[in-house]
Amino acid sequence: MADQPTNQNTSDEIDLGQLFQMIGRGFQKFFNFIGSLFNGFFHIVILSLLFIQKNIIIIGSAVILGGIGGYILDKVLPEKYISKMVVEPNFNSVQQLYNNIAFYNDLAEAQDSVALATALNITEHEAASIKEVFADSYSDENQKIKLFDEFVRELDTTTIKTIDFENYLKNFNSLDARFHQISLISIDNRVAKKTQTAILGSISVNGYFKLQKRINDENLMLQDSIYRQQLVEIDSLQNLYRTVLVKEAEKPMQGTSINMADNGQSQNRELALVQERDVLKEKLVNLNKDRANKSSIINVISDFPTRGVELKGVWNSYKFILPLVLLGLVIFVLALLELNKYLKTYNKS
């Protein structure tokens, strides 16, 4: 019986020893894996350097020729100009705006100056100068917070509990933004301003949006008349309360009794009317703001400038783009040749 604890201790020591050995082997495999990654990366770097060293003359020549060709193209080709306009679409017209802009851009890329000239109400020569038309959202963090607040107000209390600002941002896309920027790139720095009326008009002539605007205008007028009628009624009630108080005060005092309760109720009623009047005034102010914001199907926050600005930047310069293109093409061809050699050697072996 005395040998039993000794055997148990020996068994525990063996189990612990096996556990530490397993842990040690696990760490060894992990570090070996990390080492193999570094070795593989180092091997790829060395092969790349050897490849460049072997073909340095061809690669260098491609870069130099690309730089020279890009410099010549920058001097020969006409300058490009960009013009930007910021708009605020109303009545869910933002999708139609993006569709129209995409249509104009397709015509510009296809160099269909006849159809583009008809769509934008400009000459064919001016339409041929347009190279690209695109739109993107124009919003910052503050605007997203305001949009989230407006979105939440339209939901019921049960749905609000399931939505937070982070989830709202995850589902936020360019069409949800309040402001949108339309950009036009052309070799004619004056053509963008001439297209503005046609771009905006293509949205404003839509029958659905015109109906939405008319109904919105009628609703605003109806709300305005209701609020003003309520103000008139409040003024009438205030005058009535004042008349009653004056007549009550003119009555001769009978004995020494004073009806303080009635006087307090009259003051409370008049105070409630004053508060209600302030609320209605605030509603009228918000109504006027809404009327101003929805006065057009698409509001223009910033017009196209009279002249576009020159399109600058590294990615708009041929003397930077062309060397990269030639470099990529040369490396691709040389890599194919090396692969072909390897395959021939592998086939022989």
Q: What is the pLDDT of residues 167-207, one digit of tens each?
A: 666 666 677 788 999 999 999 999 999 999 999 999 989 99
Q: How many CB atoms lie within 10 A of CB 34?
A: 10
Does residue 165 contact residue 145 with C-beta atoms inside 8 Å? yes
For 298, list phi and psi in degrees, rounded to 5.
-140, 115
Q: What is the pLDDT of residues 100-122, one digit of tens each?
A: 999 999 999 999 999 999 999 99
252: DSSP letter:
P
More reliable by pLDDT, 211 or 149? 211
| Residue 182: Cβ-neighbour burial (10 angstroms; 0-12, 13-18, 19+) | buried
For 156, list phi and psi in degrees, rounded to 5.
-80, 165
User: What pLDDT is attached to residue 157?
Assistant: 67
pLDDT over 90, % of the chain:
43
More reliable by pLDDT, 349 or 298? 298
Amino acid letter at 248?
A: E
Kindly give, in sequence order, each residue whose CB lies less than 8 Å from that of residue 163, ignoring residues fewer than 6 positions away: 152, 155
Q: Sign of the C-alpha dihedral, residues 278, 283, 286, 287?
A: negative
User: What pLDDT is attached to residue 164?
Assistant: 67
307: DSSP letter:
S
Q: Per-residue confidence at 48, pLDDT binned at 50, 70, 90?
A: confident
User: What pLDDT is attached to residue 162?
Assistant: 67
For residue 260, pLDDT beyond 50? no
Q: How many CB atoms lie within 10 A of CB 188?
A: 20
pTM for the model: 0.72
Q: What is the mean pLDDT of residues 222-251?
A: 82
For tokens 């057009």, the residue is 296
Q: How many CB atoms lie within 10 A of CB 297?
A: 22
Q: What is the pLDDT of residues 10-39, one digit of tens each?
A: 555 556 677 777 888 888 888 888 988 888
> Residue 190 and residue 112: Cα distance in Å, rounded?
20
> Residue 254 and residue 262: Cα distance in Å, rounded?
16
> Residue 230 and residue 309: Cα distance in Å, rounded?
54
Q: Would you list the domain boundaries of the chain?
A: 10-74+320-348, 79-206+300-315, 212-248+258-296
Least confident of 178-187, 214-223, 337-346: 337-346
* CA distances (Å), origin 319, targets 64, 65, 154, 213, 326: 10, 10, 53, 50, 11
Q: Sign of the C-alpha dihedral, residues 153, 154, 156, 160?
A: negative
| Residue 73: Cβ-neighbour burial (10 angstroms; 0-12, 13-18, 19+) | middle
Q: Per-residue confidence at 258, pLDDT binned at 50, 70, 90?
A: very low
Q: What is the mean pLDDT of residues 65-73?
A: 91
Least confident of 50-59, 190-199, 252-261: 252-261
User: What pLDDT is attached to residue 261?
Assistant: 47
Q: How many CB atoms lie within 10 A of CB 92?
A: 11
User: What pLDDT is attached to residue 313?
Assistant: 80
User: How high does pLDDT run on average in the chain?
Assistant: 84
> Residue 179 and residue 168: Cα distance in Å, rounded?
18
Q: What is the mean pLDDT of residues 147-163?
A: 68
Alpha-carbon 131 to chain mean position:
24
Amino acid letter at 120?
A: L
User: What pLDDT is attached to residue 247?
Assistant: 75
Q: What is the mean pLDDT of residues 131-140?
A: 86
User: What pLDDT is attached to residue 151?
Assistant: 67
> Residue 275 and residue 269: Cα distance in Å, rounded?
10
- With H, G, I as helix, E, B as strand and everything else as coil, classify residue 131: strand
